[in-house]
Amino acid sequence: MPSCRIPSRLVHHLPHTQTEYSHKNAPTDLFSLHCEALFCVMTHFYTVLLIKVSVSVLKKYKDVEGVVKMEEVNGEELVKRFAEEMEEMLGRKMKSVKVSIHSFEYYNSMLINTVDENGNPLPLGGEFLLEPNEHFNKLPVNTQQSNIQVPTNVYNRDPDILNGVYMSEALNDVFIENFQKDPTLTWQYFGSSTGFFRLYPGIQWIPDENGVSTFDCRNRNWYIQAATSPKDVVIVVDVSGSMKGLRLTIAKHTINTILDTLGENDFVNIIAYSDYVRYVEPCFKGTLVQADLDNREHFKLLIDGIHVKGEGKVKNAMKESFRILNEVCQGSLCNQAIMLITDGAMEDFQDVFEEFNWPERRVRVFTYLIGREMTFAENVKWIACNNKGYYTHISTLADVQENVMEYLHVLSRPMVINHDHDIIWTEAYMDSVLFNTQAQSLLLMTSVAMPVFSKKKETLSHGILLGVVGTDVALKELMRLAPRYKLGVHGYAFLITNNGYILSHPDLRPLYKEGKKLKPKPNYNSVDLSEAEWEDTEEKLRTAMVKGDTGTLSLDVRTSVDKGRRVLFLKNDYFYTVINETPFSLGIVLTRGYGQYIFIGNVSVEDGLHDLLAPDLTIASEWTYCETDIDPAHRKLSQRQAVVQYLTGKEPDLKCDVQLLEQTLFDAVVTAPMEAYWTALMLNTSGIDEGIETAFLGTRSGLMRFQRYTGIEKRVAKSFLTSTDKENMFTLDHFPVWYRRAAEYPAGQFLYYMPRQDIRGTVEEIPLLSKHTHSQNTLFPLFPLCDITLSYNSFLCLLSCQDVECYVIDNNGFVLISRQRNNVSSHTYTHRNRDTLDGKFSACQSQTKCHTYNSHRLIHIPNLESWPLSFSLSASAHKKKGDILQPCDTEYPSFVYEPSVKETNSIIKCGRCQKMFVVQQIPESNLLMLVVQADCDCSRQHAPITMEPKECDRMRSQKIRRRPESCHAYHPQENADDCGGASFISLSASIFFMCLTFSALFS
């Protein structure tokens, strides 16, 4: 039998004098020798170093111990204060919207800085100064001038456009003044009902590849929500034989356009009729469903597949529509409307309206006559005009957009007549249209907007809407008001809407990668809180927050780290409250133990500054130690530069977080001995153990110290502390992975961890070693989480046996050391036990099943031989042409080794052979040594398990929501005769100007 020889250069590390042994009969003995050798090498490398580190820091801490105090975090007080600060910030946004209703020169954003073939500026173009601006994502903008965008399908010299733009020149000054008062403002804009869009700061609008600008502000969610109250809509489409060809194409486009005008506060269903009535989605029979993005896109897919056949009988379809609206108990319960799309109506249908809608006419009926044929135009128009609706004739695809938008003007009449300037807030969104024009980045935002309308008495009964004014609020800026250091390593803040959808949450992953580009997932802004806080099985937390309550709740949670690869078991306290004058609720999470307390120390500014300027020190670049966004002169300062400028008195006007600065200075002083110690190691090469490449530590204040050792290959060092590796840095959403894991690890033990970037390619370098110190079961925020990057080859020599396979795995089941290098970081496949969930945050493909890799706690270690199984964050790796991204629930593997089990072994039958394995803990670490026979292959025994989502149940789910407070459905002074085909009152330029200048009402 071959023997395993421990290299002679490692003999002096071993507790035994034996250097040769046989594994004839005792795999456990073989394991023990390997384990002991490995552990001795590890402890030789790091124990002395970490003890010196701890002693150095403890000694320095003793010097300042007298000025340290520990305070318990009051979650209720904290969430209240955060909510008040957010309310104040959002209040400033609302105020800027109110004072923006003023007036409006004409720079067409698509024509500026362009010339014709003779070198002359294009009409409506001209020179327009653009400069890159840090505050606007380094994009070229003009902060002294707004400009105008007009959709390609709208004539840019239309008299209404020219009059409106010309008379609104004064709005530019208001935009500038708003930005000066509140430098955190981003884009400010006015969307006109005639179709032009004024944007500040001014930009160059980039058309699509066909030279077309399809952006129409009137289709944007902020415009539609501000222009109308919530609505319940039943779309009724004629699918009789006469609707074939172009008519059906126009009808489908009309339905899709109507769906695009709906939002999460609206409810909808679609009925198709010919000889009989059918629901396009049988799951939704007899009810209304929330018009969120998921359901709207689902309807579009179904509409694309409808076919025409039979004779059109509208009567029964209208009856069914009224039944839905009259019997519905789940909906907006505000505006109700039926959208009839047909090429004609021949039946006697008056009795339907007499039975269901007259005399109150609570349900408005909007009719769309499809095709060039006008034989039944009067019938179709009669339906609309006798039910407070609007009639339009759509003969070409180009007619659809403008004609569909007419219904919004009708629905806005009651609000306009009431002169109610309701302020609305939108759900989270990424403006992909503006992003494509290079005027926006993939940042989550919300918009605040309000309507602008005519106040002249002669226009009162017509309720003329002039447009909507609004501004964007970057949610990232809002969440800075709930800083990480106050919440602890596992704590976080989150925001949800009145519908229970997430505005901001650290576990919300709204992007997916397609090729080299990041794109928003199609359902990113309709992720329910229950998908992120899924331990809230009874939805007590969600229900209370949706209702706008204030309170607390405790939950035992399993939270994932390292992008879902690992799981932690925590006891979380939730504190929540509503943000007044918005539809949003704020929640904060504090974890028992570490998150319950905060240490506050006080050192002199002089001492703190001296240590803060050390070359081995950085602070979290995404955190707000000092506000650099207020003064443009400060925007190029890094956070560290801003702190130094403030503390030295060079920039006393900087707004800084005094408590965070105190903690940072204190941490800098207490951890200062590390710089001298690491420098001494660098100068004395004999003092550097083989394999050590980088040493670093982190503190609760976001401070990091790290040292890269010279003369050593620095592949890990180059990749670990880069700005692209968010998982290993202090970010706005998370403490680093190594910090979060170490905070929950037993005191005094070693924690090994392989960073994600080392998995793909540089497998020669391996794990991070962490050791930390507890004080009364609370992780002291200054004692360093000391991590040292090791060399893979340092341990490979220990795993040199031939007919057994030796692996070192961590407590989450990932391979750290193996002779087969492609196994490093692979996961072992195990039995099923739901440990982690990554609901809508995963992008799965339609027509592709979602693979489910389930987990089992490593107590008896079944099926470990069935490996390697590579871990994937996406449930499907490829997207076929024509596939559409769909949400799915996906379980990911997550080992959690039970530490009370020190050793186990067994024999597993595998086909025609059997496999023996031995697994044992490596003392004082989170590692396990696994030895298995190499001559029995079980890798094909376990196929992935797929999940079949119950799509119908998911879509029909009607969770608790809070309806918007305002509703404007009817007004007795409304002129219902204005129902299509009639003459309209046109506003002169002077009336338009007078209507816009009423900001004094809000002063």
Residue-wise pLDDT for 950-983, tens only, equals: 566 656 667 889 988 889 888 888 888 889 864 3
Distance CA 273, CA 310 (A): 9
pLDDT given for residue 389 in this prediction: 95
Place of tokens 């799981």: 567
Distance CA 558, CA 570 (A): 6
Q: Return the HEC string of 184-251.
A: CCCCEEEEECCCCEEEECECCCCCCCCCCCCCCHHHCHHHHHHHCCCEEEEEEEECCHHHCCHHHHHH
Q: Give the mean pLDDT of the chain.
A: 75
pLDDT given for residue 474 in this prediction: 87
pLDDT given for residue 133 in this prediction: 85
Tokens of 371: 């095709």
Task: Report which of residues 61 and 393 the model is more confident about.
Answer: 393
pLDDT given for residue 958 in this prediction: 74
Q: How confident is the model at residue 644 (pLDDT cuts 50, 70, 90)?
A: very high
Q: Per the omega criterion (within 30 degrees of 0), is the bond before 359 cis?
A: yes
Model confidence at 692: pLDDT above 60 = yes
Q: What is the mean pLDDT of residues 636-658?
A: 93
Over the stretch 588-605, which tens digit does the pLDDT of each residue have? 999 998 778 887 888 899
pLDDT given for residue 867 in this prediction: 27
Distance CA 180, CA 174 (A): 10
Q: For the ranges 373-382, 384-393, 761-770, which has the lowest average pLDDT?
A: 761-770
Decide: helix, strand or coil at residue 725. coil
pLDDT given for residue 586 in this prediction: 96
pLDDT given for residue 588 in this prediction: 95
Tokens of 221: 């969610």
Q: What is the mean pLDDT of residues 247-272?
A: 95
Over the stretch 849-873, which tens digit does the pLDDT of each residue have? 222 222 222 222 332 322 222 222 2
pLDDT given for residue 758 in this prediction: 42
Q: How confident is the model at residue 904 (pLDDT cuts 50, 70, 90)?
A: confident
- Helices first, then strands: H and E counts in the chain: 24, 45
Q: What is the mean pLDDT of residues 196-203?
A: 91
Place of tokens 């004082």: 924
Q: Return the HEC string of 613-665.
A: CCCCEEECCCCCCEECCCCHHHCCCCHHHHHHHHHCCCCCCCEECHHHHHHHH
Topology given in CATH for the domain delimited by 224-418: Rossmann fold (3.40.50)
Over the stretch 800-827, which tens digit does the pLDDT of each residue have? 455 778 888 888 888 887 766 555 555 5
Q: What is the mean pLDDT of residues 436-455?
A: 75
DSSP state of 470: E
Tokens of 535: 């331990």
Distance CA 540, CA 553 (A): 8
pLDDT given for residue 650 in this prediction: 93
Which residues on neighbouring strands pair with residue 199, listed in sequence order? 147, 189
Its pTM stands at 0.79
Q: Characterize the bridge pairing of strands 765-771 and 786-791.
A: antiparallel
Model confidence at 777: pLDDT above 50 = no
pLDDT given for residue 877 in this prediction: 30
Chain-centroid distance of CA 931 in Å reads 42
Exposed (0-12), middle (13-18) or buried (19+): which is 352, by Cβ within 10 Å? buried
What are the two backbone dihedrals, phi and then psi, of residue 123, each rounded to the nearest 5 degrees? -55, 140
Tokens of 580: 């007044």
pLDDT given for residue 571 in this prediction: 94
pLDDT given for residue 81 in this prediction: 83
AA letter at 167? M
Handedness of CA 974, 976, 977, 980 (dihedral sign): positive
Q: Which of 14-18, 932-936, 961-965 has the highest mean pLDDT?
A: 961-965
Nearest CA to 526 among 291, 234, 270, 223?
A: 291
Model confidence at 103: pLDDT above 50 = no
pLDDT given for residue 619 in this prediction: 94
- What one-character-per-residue DSSP string does 355-398 give? HHTTTT--EEEEEEEESS--TTHHHHHHHHHTTT--EEEE-SGG
Strand order of the β-sheet with 751-753 is 617-619, 703-708, 694-698, 786-791, 765-771, 751-753
Total Cβ atoms within 10 A of residue 980 = 19
Model confidence at 710: pLDDT above 70 = no
Q: What is the mean pLDDT of residues 502-528?
A: 85
Q: What is the mean pLDDT of residues 303-314?
A: 92
Tokens of 915: 């496999």
Distance CA 484, CA 556 (A): 21
Q: Per the omega criterion (within 30 degrees of 0), is the bond before 868 cis?
A: yes
Model confidence at 499: pLDDT above 90 = yes
pLDDT given for residue 301 in this prediction: 93
Q: For the ranges 418-422, 674-678, 790-794, 912-916, which has the lowest average pLDDT?
A: 790-794
Q: For the ranges 356-365, 719-728, 782-791, 876-885, which has the lowest average pLDDT?
A: 782-791
Total Cβ atoms within 10 A of residue 738 = 23
Model confidence at 732: pLDDT above 80 = yes
Task: Report which of residues 142 and 135 the model is more confident about.
Answer: 142
pLDDT given for residue 209 in this prediction: 77
Q: Which residues fall within 8 angstroms of residue 267, CB to CB, at 6 or more apart?
A: 231, 232, 233, 288, 289, 290, 291, 328, 330, 331, 332
Q: How confident is the model at residue 893 (pLDDT cuts 50, 70, 90)?
A: low
Chain-centroid distance of CA 284 in Å reads 29
Q: How confident is the model at residue 294 (pLDDT cuts 50, 70, 90)?
A: confident
What are the two backbone dihedrals, phi and then psi, of residue 426, each rounded to the nearest 5 degrees? -90, 170
pLDDT given for residue 726 in this prediction: 72
Measured between alpha carbons, how far is residue 215 from residues 110, 401, 789 in Å?
12, 11, 51
Q: Which of 562-571, 642-651, 888-897, 910-919 has the highest mean pLDDT?
A: 642-651
Q: At what angle do helices 989-996 and 159-166 cross, to 10 degrees?
A: 40
The beta strand positions in 674-763, using DSSP E, are 694-698, 703-708, 751-753
Q: What is the mean pLDDT of residues 343-369?
A: 90
Q: Which residues fall within 8 angstroms of residue 479, CB to CB, at 6 or more apart?
A: 493, 495, 504, 732
Nearest CA to 288 among 366, 232, 229?
A: 232
The torsion region of residue 456 among left (phi > 0), alpha (psi -120 to 50) and beta comes to beta
Q: For the ranges 202-211, 365-374, 401-410, which has the lowest average pLDDT?
A: 202-211
Exposed (0-12), middle (13-18) or buried (19+): which is 377, by Cβ within 10 Å? middle
pLDDT given for residue 367 in this prediction: 96
Place of tokens 């569909």: 404
Q: For the ranges 233-247, 249-263, 619-633, which has the lowest average pLDDT?
A: 619-633
pLDDT given for residue 887 in this prediction: 59
Model confidence at 66: pLDDT above 90 = no
Model confidence at 537: pLDDT above 60 = yes
User: How many CA atoms are closer than 13 Å to the CA of 235, on its beta-carbon side?
Assistant: 30
Q: How confident is the model at residue 58 (pLDDT cuts 50, 70, 90)?
A: low
Q: Which of 150-154, 456-460, 830-834 has the highest mean pLDDT?
A: 150-154
Residues 407/228, Cβ–Cβ less than 8 Å: no
Q: For the ranges 258-262, 592-596, 785-789, 933-937, which has the lowest average pLDDT?
A: 785-789
Ranges of CATH 3.40.50.410 domains, the chain: 224-418
Exposed (0-12), middle (13-18) or buried (19+): which is 245, by Cβ within 10 Å? exposed
Q: How confident is the model at residue 282 (pLDDT cuts 50, 70, 90)?
A: very high
Distance CA 244, CA 641 (A): 68
Q: Characterize the bridge pairing of strands 147-149 and 445-453.
A: unpaired
Q: For the ranges 182-191, 650-659, 768-777, which has the lowest average pLDDT?
A: 768-777
Chain-centroid distance of CA 19 in Å reads 56
Q: Which residues fall within 8 angstroms of residue 739, CB to CB, at 6 or more apart?
A: 489, 698, 785
Element (H, E) at 493: strand 492-496
Nearest CA to 720 among 618, 821, 808, 605?
A: 618
Please report, rounded to a whole number, the percentage of residues in the chain having pLDDT higher than 90. Answer: 28
What are the two backbone dihedrals, phi and then psi, of residue 234, each rounded to the nearest 5 degrees? -115, 120
DSSP state of 760: S
pLDDT given for residue 915 in this prediction: 80
